[in-house]
Chain A
């Protein structure tokens, strides 16, 4: 209570009737949406009225409260995502116990007898992500080095929009090309027994994660202070020696953050995997058969949401939880290394 009053007091919200009114109506909107969503229009109208009144009477306070409310909504969205994912997945965890993450023998995915093991999907996600990383990380970092360090102006002017455009191509378009062009190609040329394979998905996802790696790594390389490079060049080192011995080590945290972000993209990529894979919820046999077929966590959700209900739906939410935690971990990890880089470079804003 005292903390709240302290916060409210510090924000200067509590000392104005407009602020209090805004807060109350907003709270009413939130409560109605949770309890009786059909009636949400009435508190919403009241809130709008108060806002209009506030804009004319106390613009400063209104703006401040609205900004605060926007912040709360943002945090609330992340909180709600977490809560709802976890809450919906509890039944599946209750049915399967820890087996949902570890069961590798026998039937792995059989909704009619309520057997849900996410192991094949986790394996599929792992394999596709590894392949994608093997494609995106070296090529992406090399592309970033080229843009930041080596490219003449005209090439940089060409490459930066090209990378942005590559990032802009919707994932379903990549998936469509994979489905219509790559799948038949692989089936014909490599005599694959099934339509679609982890290998194709991994390569396609790698191409999709490439622009993310390039642009984030390029920012990191470009933020290495110029004097550090000048010192190396003044000692007679070539540009390439400077890049490998000074710039890349200095930007190492940023570059690895870029790779982590790219991996996060690859883990969460849905449509390419959904369209290309043949949706078999079994482990490939043997495990390292990258030309085999299995499922990824994302494509499981996208392909089964329509036919799922009850415990199967809950199992899909469990897949969502695994995804969410993985990607959140990657995101927090990359933020951590990025901060460390800022510290080592002394501000990082040079």
Chain B
């Protein structure tokens, strides 16, 4: 019976009892201090709470948590708590607190003691102190000494007003000046994070379990931070852009005549009326004109759509063709590896370099000026490597048995590719293409150089032009569906319009217009991504069934 409990406690150490609560409290306080100081840094929470300074309250919390941590370690030393500390805390703790010591020592030496050029001595002394405290004692004492000690130090500095309201630090050689409003949150946040890390190790009873718990806390916090970044970015744009984007939307049902005709024998027209939905959304349906009550981004939306259509219709055939050639026809050897290196090189080439290339190569050949066609081609070159890489991956993932089975039936190689390999590789190709489209739809730098003219036009490129006419020359009938003039004219696009609102000065467009444009751009790009992810799901389930 007694051995049983012993085994259980060795496996679940720290999962019950006072150790868990005490360690958990340290983690919780550290996390709360971290979040509160982040919010204080971006100034969304007031800096006074119930008459006291927020920073003093947070510093007090840190001191309390540090005392709690030290109490845990003392209790563990006395054998009250069941822990399994290692001999030494290991290199990660030493590295972290060596760095902390380096920074603190250097700053103290330079600022407080006034060593002008000798500050490296202070820095090195601080680093040495941090490393010694982390490595020399047993693990539990080391954690208390470093984490708890640092928290006590920071708390003391803040509570005793060493960094008080009138504190100001202008480091020599840096343009920035540090004030308490920004320095204290940074200091508190870092301390809170370190304390939470150390507390998590204590809560799991130190040792390997403790290290695992501490690491998983940091890594999870990082992941949560990424999600928070995404949410903050998108909601920020959505909140600011929603108003301008939806301003002036009007719609209604109207009883309107749909068609009318004159039946034979009657003198009157028969009018057939029906309810019609009328919808007007100025921001996405209007261009930019003095007469407009609300200016909109319709030309930019049209331009972006045409750019994407043009880029896709050039890049997809080329890219899939290249992938088919490399995978199905060419022997795997030097040629394929050269093309592979070339595609990977193209993929990481900066977008502005594509723009320069378009400026030097395409613009002189196409209309000698910015044009929609140049923009399409440059973006298609940017899209090309991604299409090749994803298509090639998809083609390589088609099992060889498919090809062998088809060949065994006497089917020619091209027939095999067309009816066996390509359909099986379709999901990968489509997904890659759509994700690439999402990328080029938001690309600004290359089109800046080859596409754009007037930043705020009244109308977008009018590319479709269906018509038929008789002409005097061969072949005497002219069927047109493409307005080639529009291809050679400059156009605008959503990302360029957003850029233009920044550079043109916000004077004549207003910041709301910019936020609205940003939101529309984000919606367009995410729409492409949503289609890409949905089609990946669709093809995946179709392949599996």
Measuring CB to CB, which residues of chain A are less than 8 angstroms from any residue of chain B? 11, 33, 37, 59-60, 63-64, 66-71, 73-75, 77-78, 80-81, 84-85, 87-88, 139, 142-143, 145-147, 150-151, 155, 158-159, 161-166, 168-173, 175-177, 179-181, 185-186, 189-194, 197, 199, 207, 210, 214, 238-241, 244, 261, 264-265, 267-271, 274-275, 286, 288-292, 298, 301-302, 305, 316-317, 320, 323-324, 327-328, 330-332, 335
Contact = CB atoms under 8 A, between A and B. Distances in A.
Most buried by A among B176, B182, B351: B176
A161 B223 CA distance: 13
B350 A275 contact: no
B313 interface: no
Contacts of A289: 173-175
Nearest to A198: B175
A189 B179 contact: yes
B348 A67 contact: no
Given A63-B324, A170-B522, 7 more contacts: A37-B365, A60-B414, A69-B321, A70-B318, A145-B219, A161-B533, A275-B502
| Max count, chain A CB within 10 A of own CB: residue among B350, B352, B511, B533 | B352
B30 interface: no
Q: Taking each of B227, B349, B441, which has the highest tally of chain A beta carbons within 10 Å of its own beta carbon?
A: B349
A155 B216 CA distance: 14
A302 B352 contact: yes
B221 to A, nearest CB: 9
24 contacts: A60-B414, A64-B414, A66-B321, A75-B339, A77-B346, A78-B346, A80-B357, A85-B353, A159-B227, A166-B230, A170-B521, A173-B522, A177-B233, A192-B176, A240-B211, A240-B212, A268-B352, A268-B353, A271-B445, A275-B502, A290-B174, A323-B353, A324-B353, A332-B344
Given A171-B442, A271-B444, A290-B174, A301 B356 contact: yes
Given A63-B414, A240-B215, A323 B322 contact: no
Contacts of A85: 353, 356-357, 360
Contacts of A181: 236
Contacts of B357: 80-81, 84-85
Nearest to B439: A168
Contacts of A158: 227
B443 A241 contact: no
A189 B168 CA distance: 12
Contacts of B417: 63
Given A60-B412, A64-B414, A271-B499, A173 B237 contact: yes
Contacts of B521: 170, 172-173
Contacts of B181: 189
A75 B338 contact: yes
Contacts of A292: 175
B141 interface: no
A88 B363 CA distance: 14
Nearest to A191: B177
A151 B227 CA distance: 14
B227 A173 contact: no
B483 to A, nearest CB: 15
B526 A150 contact: no
B499 A275 contact: yes
Contacts of B319: 70, 74
A277 to B, nearest CB: 12
Which secondary structure dominates where chain B touches chain A?
Answer: helix
A71 B414 contact: no
Contacts of A332: 341, 344-345
Given A75-B338, A168-B525, A194-B175, A264 B226 contact: no
Given A67-B325, A168-B529, A320 B443 contact: no
Interface hub of B209, B357, B418, B498 (most chain A Cβ within 10 A): B357
Interface of B: 42, 173-179, 181-182, 208-209, 211-212, 215-216, 218-220, 222-223, 225-227, 229-230, 233-234, 236-237, 317-322, 324-326, 328-330, 338-339, 341-357, 359-361, 365-366, 381, 384-385, 388, 412-415, 417-418, 435, 438-439, 441-445, 448-449, 495, 498-499, 502, 511, 514, 518, 521-522, 525-526, 529, 533
A74 B414 contact: no
A267 B350 contact: yes
B314 to A, nearest CB: 10
Contacts of A168: 435, 438-439, 442, 525-526, 529
Nearest to B356: A320
Contacts of A88: 356, 360
Contacts of B439: 168
A96 to B, nearest CB: 18
A105 B354 CA distance: 32
Contacts of B359: 305
B185 to A, nearest CB: 10
Nearest to A287: B173
A155 B234 CA distance: 19
B349 A324 contact: yes
Contact of A170 (B179, B324, B413, B525): B525
A59 B411 CA distance: 13
A71 B348 contact: no
Contacts of B317: 70
A171 B444 contact: yes
Contacts of A274: 445
A286 B449 CA distance: 34
The 9 closest A-B pairs by CB, nearest first: A170-B442, A268-B350, A70-B321, A67-B325, A240-B212, A37-B365, A60-B414, A270-B445, A291-B176
Contacts of A71: 321-322, 325-326, 330, 339
A147 B223 CA distance: 8
B471 to A, nearest CB: 16
A326 B139 CA distance: 45
Given A240-B211, A270-B352, A169 B384 contact: no
A155 B181 CA distance: 35
B535 to A, nearest CB: 14
B448 to A, nearest CB: 6
Contacts of A159: 223, 226-227
B330 to A, nearest CB: 8
A49 to B, nearest CB: 14
Contacts of A269: 350
B518 A176 contact: yes
A239 B348 CA distance: 35
Most chain A CB atoms below 10 A, which of B345, B413, B511: B345
Nearest to A236: B208
